[in-house]
C-alpha cells in the first residue's frame, strides 16, 4: 500500500487535440448562462454540461485503458469523435432554446464511435459489454432527437454509461449481500477483479488536471475579453482584470496543490479500482468542473455595464461548489468546532454575493478573489495533514472524508458538511 507506481502512461497528443473541441463546447454552455442569467438556465446548463462531461469521460477512459498514440486506429477513433462533438458544440445554444434534435443526434454519433472503438480487437482485451452499452446509449440519444421533451432518455443513457464503464466490477460481493461501510471502503481500495478494467492512475490524474486547466482558461478568457472593452482610465477595468486573474490563480492553487496529488495516490493505492476512479474523478469532478463554468459566467456578467444581481450569486455559488467538490477542507479534524468551521466557511463563501448591494460588481469580484486566496492558504496547511493521514491508513482517510461529506455527518466524529 505504500509503493505507488510513479510511472504510468502519459496523455497522448491526440487527446489534447480532442480537448480543444470540448473547450469550445464548454464555452458555449457558459455563454448560454450569460445570455439568460437565471437559475433555471443555470440548471439547464448543468444538464447540458453533464451530457458533454460523460462524453468526454468515455474517450478519457477508452484511452486510459487501451489507447496508444503509436497506433493509427486509436488516433483515428479519437479524431473521428471530434466531428460529432464539434457539431454538438455548435448546437448547444439551440438546446437552451428548446431545439435539441441536432445536438442529440450528434451525441448518438459519438457513442457509435465509442461502441466501435471498444469493439475493435486489442491485445485480447474483451470489452464487448462496454460496446453494447454505448450502442444502447446511441439508440436512446437517437430516439430523443425525434421525440419532444426527451431529457429523461438522456438521463437514462448517462446513468447506464456510468454503470458499464466504471461501476461494472463487483469485486468481493455476493448476491444479496450488503457490506458494511468499512468493507465498502476496503473494496474500493482493492484492485479490480478483471485486470483489463484497471485504471492507470497517473494518466487519469494528468488527463483531468489538463482538462481543469482548460476550464480555468475559460475564466481567464472571459476576464481578458471583457477587460478589452473597458476604457483604460476606468478603475473597474483594473479591478476586474486583477480580481479575475487572482481568482483563477487561487482556484488553480486549490486544486493542484491540494486535491490532485491525493486523488492520484488513492487511485494508485487501489491498483486502479474503477469504482474509486468514478468516485474521485468521473463523478467526483463533475461539480467542481461545472463550478468553473458557472464562475466564468458570473465574472463575465459582473463586467457588463449593468450587471444583473445574479452575476455575484453565480460567482459565489460556483466558488462554494468548487471548494466543496474538491474537498479541500476534508481530513482536517473530527472535532466539532472544525466541522462547524468548515460549514461556516462554505456559508460565508456563498453569502459574499450580498456585497453587490454596497459595492460595484468589479469590486465584488476582487473581494471574492481575495477570499479565494485565503482559502487556498488554508488548504495548503490542511493538505500536509491529509497526505500524512493518507499514507498511514488509506481506508481511514476515505472513511473520514465520507463522514465529513455525508449529510448530517457522524455525531461521534463531529463530521459535517464541506
The 10s digit of each residue's pLDDT in 239-263 is: 777 888 999 999 999 898 877 888 8
Q: Across all residues in the chain, what is the average pLDDT?
A: 82
pLDDT: which is higher, 232 or 267: 267
Q: How far apart are CA 366 and CA 70, in angstroms?
A: 47
Residue 410 has pLDDT above 50, yes or no: no
What's the grid cell of residue 100? 435539441
Residue 397 has pLDDT above 80, yes or no: no
Average pLDDT over residues 346-369: 93
Residue 393 has pLDDT above 80, yes or no: no
Tell me the domain boundaries of the chain.
10-166, 191-418
Write down the pLDDT at residue 400. Answer: 57
Write down the pLDDT at residue 252. Answer: 94
Q: What band does 330 get if pLDDT is binned at 50, 70 and 90? A: low
> pTM for this one?
0.86
Average pLDDT over residues 33-59: 94
Q: What band does 415 get if pLDDT is binned at 50, 70 and 90? A: very low
Residue 411 has pLDDT above 50, yes or no: no
Write down the pLDDT at residue 334. Answer: 59
Write down the pLDDT at residue 413. Answer: 36
Query: How many CA atoms are closer than 13 Å to the CA of 405, on its beta-carbon side?
Result: 18
% of the chain surpassing 70 pLDDT: 79
What's the grid cell of residue 67? 489507447
Lowest mean pLDDT among 23-37, 167-181, 298-312, 330-344: 167-181
Write down the pLDDT at residue 182. Answer: 60
Neighbours of 21 (CB within 10 A): 20
Write down the pLDDT at residue 391. Answer: 57
Q: How far apart are CA 94 and CA 85, in angstroms?
A: 15
Interior/surface letters 138-161, b for 16+ CB within 10 angstroms, e for the rest: bebbbebbeeeebeebbeebbeeb
% of the chain surpassing 90 pLDDT: 42
What single DSSP character describes residue 60? H
Q: What band does 333 get if pLDDT is binned at 50, 70 and 90? A: low
| Cβ partners under 8 Å of residue 117, min gap 6 | 62, 74, 77
What single DSSP character describes residue 257? I
Neighbours of 401 (CB within 10 A): 21
The 10s digit of each residue's pLDDT in 173-196 is: 444 555 565 666 677 777 887 777
Residue 382 has pLDDT above 70, yes or no: yes
Write down the pLDDT at residue 178. Answer: 59
Write down the pLDDT at residue 412. Answer: 38
Alpha-carbon distance values, 339 to 138, 214, 334, 407, 416 (Å): 44, 33, 7, 12, 5
Over its C-alpha atoms, the chain yields an Rg (Å, rounded) of 22
Write down the pLDDT at residue 123. Answer: 58
User: 251 with 372: CB under 8 angstroms?
Assistant: yes
The 10s digit of each residue's pLDDT in 98-148 is: 899 999 999 999 999 999 988 876 655 557 788 899 999 999 999 999 988
Lowest mean pLDDT among 60-64, 154-158, 207-211, 391-395: 391-395
What single DSSP character describes residue 255? I
Amino acid at each position: 500500500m505504500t509503493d505507488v507506481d510513479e510511472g504510468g502512461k502519459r496523455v497522448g497528443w491526440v487527446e489534447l487535440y480532442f480537448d480543444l473541441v470540448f473547450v469550445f463546447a464548454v464555452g458555449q454552455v457558459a455563454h448560454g448562462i450569460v445570455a439568460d442569467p437565471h437559475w433555471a438556465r443555470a440548471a439547464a446548463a448543468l444538464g447540458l454540461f453533464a451530457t458533454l462531461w460523460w462524453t468526454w469521460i468515455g474517450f478519457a477512459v477508452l484511452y486510459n485503458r487501451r489507447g496508444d498514440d503509436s497506433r493509427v486506429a486509436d488516433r483515428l477513433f479519437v479524431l473521428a469523435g471530434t466531428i460529432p462533438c464539434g457539431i454538438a458544440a455548435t448546437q448547444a445554444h439551440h438546446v437552451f432554446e428548446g431545439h435539441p434534435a441536432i445536438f442529440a443526434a450528434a451525441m448518438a454519433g459519438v457513442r457509435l464511435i465509442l461502441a466501435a472503438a471498444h469493439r475493435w480487437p486489442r491485445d485480447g482485451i474483451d470489452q464487448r459489454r462496454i460496446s453494447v452499452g454505448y450502442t444502447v446509449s446511441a439508440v436512446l440519444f437517437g430516439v430523443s432527437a425525434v421525440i419532444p421533451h426527451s431529457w429523461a432518455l438522456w438521463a437514462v443513457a448517462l446513468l447506464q454509461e456510468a454503470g458499464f464503464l466504471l461501476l461494472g466490477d463487483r469485486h468481493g460481493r455476493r448476491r444479496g449481500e450488503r457490506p458494511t461501510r468499512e468493507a465498502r471502503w476496503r473494496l474500493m481500495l482493492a484492485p479490480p477483479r478483471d485486470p483489463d478494467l484497471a485504471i492507470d492512475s497517473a494518466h487519469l490524474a494528468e488527463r483531468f488536471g489538463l482538462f481543469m486547466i482548460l476550464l480555468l482558461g475559460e475564466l481567464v478568457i472571459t476576464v481578458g475579453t471583457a477587460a478589452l472593452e473597458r476604457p483604460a482610465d476606468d478603475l473597474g477595468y483594473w479591478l476586474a482584470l486583477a480580481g479575475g486573474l487572482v481568482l483563477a490563480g487561487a482556484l488553480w492553487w486549490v486544486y493542484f496543490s491540494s486535491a490532485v496529488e491525493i486523488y492520484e495516490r488513492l487511485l494508485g493505492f487501489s491498483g486502479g479500482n474503477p469504482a474509486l476512479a468514478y468516485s474521485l474523478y468521473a463523478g467526483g469532478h463533475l461539480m467542481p468542473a461545472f463550478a468553473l463554468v458557472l464562475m466564468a459566467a458570473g465574472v463575465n456578467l459582473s463586467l457588463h455595464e449593468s450587471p444583473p444581481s445574479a452575476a455575484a450569486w453565480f460567482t459565489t455559488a460556483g466558488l462554494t461548489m468548487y471548494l466543496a467538490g474538491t474537498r479541500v477542507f476534508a481530513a482536517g479534524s473530527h472535532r466539532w468546532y472544525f466541522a462547524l468551521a468548515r460549514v461556516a466557511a462554505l456559508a460565508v463563501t456563498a453569502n459574499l454575493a450580498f456585497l453587490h448591494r454596497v459595492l460595484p460588481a468589479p469590486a465584488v469580484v476582487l473581494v471574492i478573489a481575495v477570499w479565494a486566496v485565503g482559502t487556498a492558504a488554508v488548504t495548503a496547511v490542511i493538505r500536509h495533514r491529509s497526505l500524512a493521514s493518507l499514507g498511514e491508513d488509506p481506508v481511514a482517510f476515505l472513511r473520514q472524508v465520507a463522514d465529513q461529506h455525508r449529510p448530517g455527518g457522524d455525531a461521534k466524529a463531529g463530521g459535517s458538511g464541506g
